[in-house]
Amino acid sequence: MSSVLYDAPGPRAKARNVIYSVLFLVVLALGVWWVADKLEEKNQLEWALWKPFFTDSQAWTTYLLPGLGETLKAAGLSLLIALPLGALFGIARLSDHAWVRVPAAAVVEFFRAIPVLILMLFANQFYSEYTGIDSEQRPLYAVVTGLVLYNAAVLAEIVRAGILSLPRGQSEAAKAIGLRKGQMMGTVLLPQAVTAMLPAIVSQLVVIVKDTALGGVMIGFSELLIERRTLASNYSNVFASFIVVAVIYVIVNFILTSLASWLERIVRRGKRTTGAVVGAAAVDDLSTGAAAGAPVTPDGVPGAEHGDGPADGVPDGGGGGEGDGRT
């Protein structure tokens, strides 16, 4: 048996795969043992260092959970603002008008080229000198601004690529029925492109969640990683706190990707057609009968008055197509 991409492995290939798998597991086990041994030498596995995360609720209520809340707040605000901005600039880059397309492309390429950390620092300095935002709220504004400017540019490219990935026949069919460019984009292209864009949008959301840590390191935003520093200084468990925060990030990102996968399945399931197949005879009768002004039966077949016999070309029993097994 073979697939499109490769031939099915034979007995020797299967034996080699088993050997490689066993060797990999052995090397992995040795690596884990070596790391655990080094940690044991440095006394990093002592229960006293890990105990606050299991027995002291203050470690969570005072440090980790508030930091996680600030991280999710900044990431959520950034995505809510960046997503419509990215969609707007992505669509603008596909405009037929150069006075719309060229400035949109310049803005997107400009902000894509600047590191998000520089955008945060610039926004923080701007808010400090030219606005009256409170110093406690300024780091949040600066982090959100930097993330919005950078990720809106990235999402614009995702939207543009998602629309361009659709078959050309979709836009040609929309033009054939008289839709304008805006109508075609809003009712035909964008709804279909959403499914193709979802994985990339979720990946960018994961990036946004992790990039909030840059604001904590550089401008004092009280996100999860900066709160970990305070916790570690109080409990003297630097390594353990890093491990716990890493696990929190993994769990949060796993939940986000799982929700996105569920949403993608819902969207794909909603686009499946459930219409019955119509035979060629019924289509011919429909077109000729409609052109001649013939009445249409409740089943949608023209050429027969209500209560008369079946229309020409349609078998008695009124299915309207081959393979119609409805009762």
Which CATH number do you get for residue 189? Answer: 1.10.3720.10
Question: Could you tell me if residue 118 is inside a domain?
Answer: yes
- List the beta bridge partners of residue 296: 302
Question: Could you tell me if residue 230 is inside a domain?
Answer: yes
pLDDT the model gives residue 271: 63
Domain region containing 222: 60-270
Question: Average pLDDT of 289-316?
Answer: 49
Question: Could you tell me if residue 296 is inside a domain?
Answer: no
Considering its fold, how many domains does the chain have in total? 1
Confidence class for position 71, pLDDT limits 50, 70, 90: very high
90 contacts 159 by C-beta, under 8 angstroms = yes
pLDDT the model gives residue 283: 46
Question: Could you tell me if residue 135 is inside a domain?
Answer: yes
Residue 182 dihedral angles phi and psi, to the nearest 5°: -65, -40
100-104, 213-217, 310-314 — most confident range: 100-104
Question: Could you tell me if residue 163 is inside a domain?
Answer: yes
Question: Could you tell me if residue 10 is inside a domain?
Answer: no
Report field, pTM of the whole predicted structure over 0.85: no
Question: Could you tell me if residue 251 is inside a domain?
Answer: yes
Q: Which of 90, 227, 99, 208 shows the shortest CA–CA distance to 160?
A: 90
